[in-house]
Structure 1
């Protein structure tokens, strides 16, 4: 395929057979949607259609679903789809280095040598260091026209280590509700987290323990955990409240919120967003929290340095360190001046650096140039 011009309407397909509705407002769906809405791409997600996609009707209107036949093997099903559709696809969008994505890269370029591939690594250093770096792997990756990572530390690391050009394209947020900026007066003394509650990698027990250690010293503050609770964690919660009955009215669990306006309001009301994860790529909750004007408290994830502008708009602590977390909460909860200042500054920082529209402006340019 010759480099497409601004007059053409390139066909971009994100191939991810197990796509669910929730993925449409994450990077998998947002990148094709933004390129469609603002850059006139003909964008689709190729997937099994495991469930209905209500977000297609409103949040990502204009994004298409292209069905992949489900025979029970992702690698084979993806290749069967490409056998039928590769020549119609100008840009194939893939996420992650897996056996199936590597197979699809080779297959697509064989079937459509002029087509372009955008590979989003969706990675952290730990994941990348577990990959067996062979000459064959790099030969496959060289078939990609654009390869990107989501945080600056990994961007610099891979560009030194790999014989490839890696781009920095972070995850972002989108103002689905056309909401105005958040005023500090809207906010309450709430520490918020949004996650799969109880998932080992999310380490929500560290948040609960950290809050418990400092709760008496910040009596006007509440903790709110939004997300479906994993079954095994229910017993932990029961034990936590049995041992700390005075916190029953100050710690609230809310099931997963799919309505974008309702979820946005949770961020708008919270003064602090806290993420205790043991491992992440670039979680989208970071950008949503920044858009909501939250002060961010997080473990020392690579992406946390990016979203807080190296702790300018937040504080970071070592993984699994509930004591250090409690010290940070004590300090920050009692510093209303810093909380108010951060509410406004982090929104401006996020708009400049983590808006999906700005991010996809850069990606569109890269896709034209490469």
Structure 2
């Protein structure tokens, strides 16, 4: 069986249940490749290898040179003869040169796959990061291998004359953690992310909630809380004492089974992010039948099937968010059946479906 390697030097345990780990793991699970993953991290610090991605082979990168590119080069130099496909993220020019070098010495036997993990924010002010490349750099990028992006919008924005082999491939969810919902969902609004970070813009959510009559609904805010954000939370409750029992800051949840119970119970998933390449939480929420209310980002538009299974509002527009939440809570807006949302998710965003598309791209 062909061998697939994913190199992500600064990977931690959490990355094993994100796209970094789920792509090689699912390729293994689907018996498409013998899959390996490589971080600097010691194996004993990666418990998810035995629980969430059992069967994925760990091959540690040695941090000899304190330089990711040099360490990657020597890692490949000691193993290139047994690697068939190599996956890396964020293709710097040095990574592209490394890829071209090993393609040359293996007579083009090794296939390289680069996941761009790029959001439309990269193209703000019409600045295409590819258009300014020299012709020599473009030449090497054309020869390096397969590149994928997570949304069709970003794919369209990229200059395909530079990245000849750019393909669309979204992120997904692990169907092993998705389950049939046997009871009716509860009147719960859920958000999951790094609470208080600039990217996630929790302030917009809290401003919106201050102007919503939650009635018999509650809000669960899940994720690690930035240290400096605790004062904002305290101020929120001071200003809205009636929300103390209705808006709950749950904190970080590392156990995926517990987190899935939160998705499973929630009717609505809210994300107020300023930018996302493709938030994995979108696919996780969709897989559990959550209606998605999100800022107007490319991945949100696609994963809601053009707002069929969600609603989009402008970044930092708390008035639009509070208005939509009020309409949902009052029953003015009827949500799609959660079974239909789950069916859409299973068809389009199951990792098993996605990696089979990847396999076709690599072997086609």
Which stretch of the first structure deviates more once superposed, 105-114 or 298-307?
A: 105-114
> In 1, distance between residues paired with 2:317 and 2:140?
40
Q: What pairs with 1:132-281 in structure 2 (closer than 5 Å)? A: 132-158=132-158, 162=162, 164-177=164-177, 179-183=178-182, 185-214=183-212, 216=213, 218-281=214-277
Does the 8 Å contact 1:87/1:111 carry over to 2? no
The runs of at least 4 consecutive aligned structure 1 residues that moved more than 6 Å come to none
Does the 8 Å contact 1:123/1:281 carry over to 2? yes
Does the 8 Å contact 1:56/1:63 carry over to 2? yes
Does the 8 Å contact 2:145/2:165 carry over to 1? no
1:118 lines up with 2:113 in the alignment? yes
Does the 8 Å contact 2:141/2:163 carry over to 1? no
Query: RMSD of the TM alignment (CA)?
Result: 1.9
DSSP-derived class of the 1:338 partner: coil
In proportion to residue count, which structure has more helix?
1
Q: Indicate the residue corresponding to 2:289 in structure 1.
A: 293
Q: TM-score, normalised by structure 2?
A: 0.92
Distance 1:348 1:114, change over 3 A: same
Distance 1:48 1:309, change over 3 A: same
DSSP-derived class of the 1:347 partner: helix
> In 2, distance between residues paired with 1:363 and 1:336?
42
Q: TM-score, normalised by structure 1?
A: 0.91
Q: Indicate the residue corresponding to 1:17 in structure 2.
A: 9
Superposed displacement of residue 344, structure 1 = 1.6
Does the 8 Å contact 1:36/1:63 carry over to 2? yes
Does the 8 Å contact 1:313/1:342 carry over to 2? no
DSSP-derived class of the 1:319 partner: coil
Does the 8 Å contact 1:150/1:168 carry over to 2? yes
Match of 1:61 among 32, 49, 54: 54
> In 1, distance between residues paired with 2:16 and 2:104?
29
Does the 8 Å contact 1:116/1:145 carry over to 2? yes
Which stretch of the first structure deviates more once superposed, 68-77 or 347-356?
A: 68-77
Does the 8 Å contact 2:142/2:162 carry over to 1? no
Which 5+ residue runs of structure 1 have no aligned equivalent? 1-8
Which 5+ residue runs of structure 2 have no aligned equivalent? none
1:77 lines up with 2:71 in the alignment? yes
Superposed displacement of residue 109, structure 1 = 2.5
Distance 1:153 1:342, change over 3 A: farther
Count, aligned residues: 356
> In 1, distance between residues paired with 2:199 and 2:46?
28
> In 1, distance between residues paired with 2:161 and 2:325?
38
> In 2, distance between residues paired with 1:98 and 1:301?
25
